């Protein structure tokens, strides 16, 4: 490993926003007579382009008016995120002491990314190094978002480590040619044989991975 920069996902990796968002989605869907288990909403929503997720729901439940629903969700979720967002355990300490160049690459729109990072006290650590899929027209699991993040860091993808909590993110990073750290409690066993993949359940594990890479 020759890691010269770190690319972070935002939701579920830096900020604890996914369960808040999934809870709101679950409530809003229930109001529209779409009753799914809360955990299923989270799993289907996690790491996927939001419009694709809603399109699949609209196909399954034809009475769901996709565009107004997406607009209502984005408005209500931003209000929730702005009220208070916790960083993921260990994220703030890790990011504030990381000496390698770093950036954020997220499937979300920039206003959401900045609202979440700002509310969690993380925004100042990334300055202008935020890459939104909506601005580069490339969503995970396609590699384009990660390739652009590497360009922002002025590094080649194989010099970057992507930290992401979703399968879509892991697939994007591997397709881009970067090293990938699967973060959190997700089952990443499908990538166990990938030589560029490492599982890091916590930020302590991520610190140890980078220490090994520096030797």
Give the domain CATH number at 34. Answer: 1.10.150
The CATH number covering residue 95 comes to: 3.40.50.1000
Kindly report, residue by residue over 30-57, the tens digit of the pLDDT: 999 999 998 888 888 776 778 888 999 9
pLDDT at 98: 96
Tell me, what's the pLDDT at 39? 87
pTM of structure: 0.86
Q: Which domain holds residue 25?
A: 18-83
Are residues 54 and 104 located together in one domain of the fold?
no
**214 near 197, Cβ under 8 Å?**
no
* Confidence at residue 127, expressed as pLDDT on a 0 to 100 scale: 81
């Amino acid at each position: 490993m020759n890691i010269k920069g770190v690319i972070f996902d935002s939701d579920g990796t830096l900020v604890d926003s996914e369960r808040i968002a999934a809870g709101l989605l679950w409530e809003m869907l229930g109001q529209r007579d779409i009753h799914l288990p809360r955990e299923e909403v989270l799993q289907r929503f996690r790491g996927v382009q939001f419009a694709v997720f809603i399109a699949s729901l609209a196909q399954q439940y034809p009475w769901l008016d996709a565009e107004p629903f997406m607009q209502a969700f984005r408005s209500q979720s931003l209000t929730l995120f702005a009220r208070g967002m916790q960083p993921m355990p260990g994220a703030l300490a890790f990011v504030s002491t990381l000496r390698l160049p770093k950036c954020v690459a997220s499937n979300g729109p920039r206003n959401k990314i900045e609202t979440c990072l700002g509310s969690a006290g993380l925004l100042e650590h990334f300055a202008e190094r935020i890459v939104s899929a909506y601005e580069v027209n490339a969503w995970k699991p396609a590699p384009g978002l990660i390739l652009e993040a590497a360009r922002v860091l002025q590094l080649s993808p194989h010099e970057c480590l992507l930290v992401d909590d979703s399968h879509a993110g892991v697939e994007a990073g591997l397709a881009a040619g970067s090293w990938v750290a699967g973060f959190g409690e997700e089952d990443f066993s499908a990538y166990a044989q990938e030589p560029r993949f490492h599982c890091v359940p916590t930020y302590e594990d991520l610190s140890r991975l980078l220490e090994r890479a520096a030797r």
